[in-house]
């Protein structure tokens, strides 16, 4: 699954490189989105959130609750990242 990550301008973090792994963390207490999935780098810095487009955030949220996911950066832009997610 390929998803966009948004909200990067709101956080300070080390700019990732292509193929860097990312950590996906659900945020069910998020006041804006009960199915929010935050994207963190290996240093634990929040970089943004999985975009809602096509309900990607909901799909990833559900899969995270079911088990392990492997995710990595595949494209880097100034205002967004593109992340590839493999479900195990």
Instruction: Give the largest CA-CA distance in the chain.
Output: 32
What pLDDT is recorded for position 13? Answer: 92
Q: What is the tally of structural domains in the chain?
A: 1
Task: Name the one residue in this structure whose structure tokens are 């290996």.
Answer: 42
Per-residue pLDDT, 70 = 87
Is the whole model's pTM more than 0.85, yes or no?
A: yes
- CA distance linking residue 49 with residue 51, whole number of Å: 6
66 vs 50: CA distance, rounded Å: 17
Cα(first)–Cα(last) distance of the chain, in Å? 12
Domain hosting 8: range is: 2-87
CATH code where residue 7 lies: 3.30.70.2330
pLDDT in tens, 51-83: 999 999 999 999 998 887 889 999 999 888 999
Per-residue pLDDT of 10-58, as tens digits, reads 999 988 999 999 999 999 999 999 999 999 999 999 999 999 999 999 9
């Amino acid at each position: 699954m390929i998803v966009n990550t948004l909200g990067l301008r709101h956080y300070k973090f080390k700019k990732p490189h292509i193929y860097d792994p990312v950590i996906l963390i659900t945020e069910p207490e998020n006041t804006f989105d009960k199915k929010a999935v935050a994207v963190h780098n290996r240093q634990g810095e929040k970089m943004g959130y999985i975009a809602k487009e096509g309900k990607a955030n909901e799909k990833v949220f559900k899969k995270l609750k079911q088990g392990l996911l492997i995710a990595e950066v595949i494209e880097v832009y100034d205002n967004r990242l593109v992340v590839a997610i493999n479900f195990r």
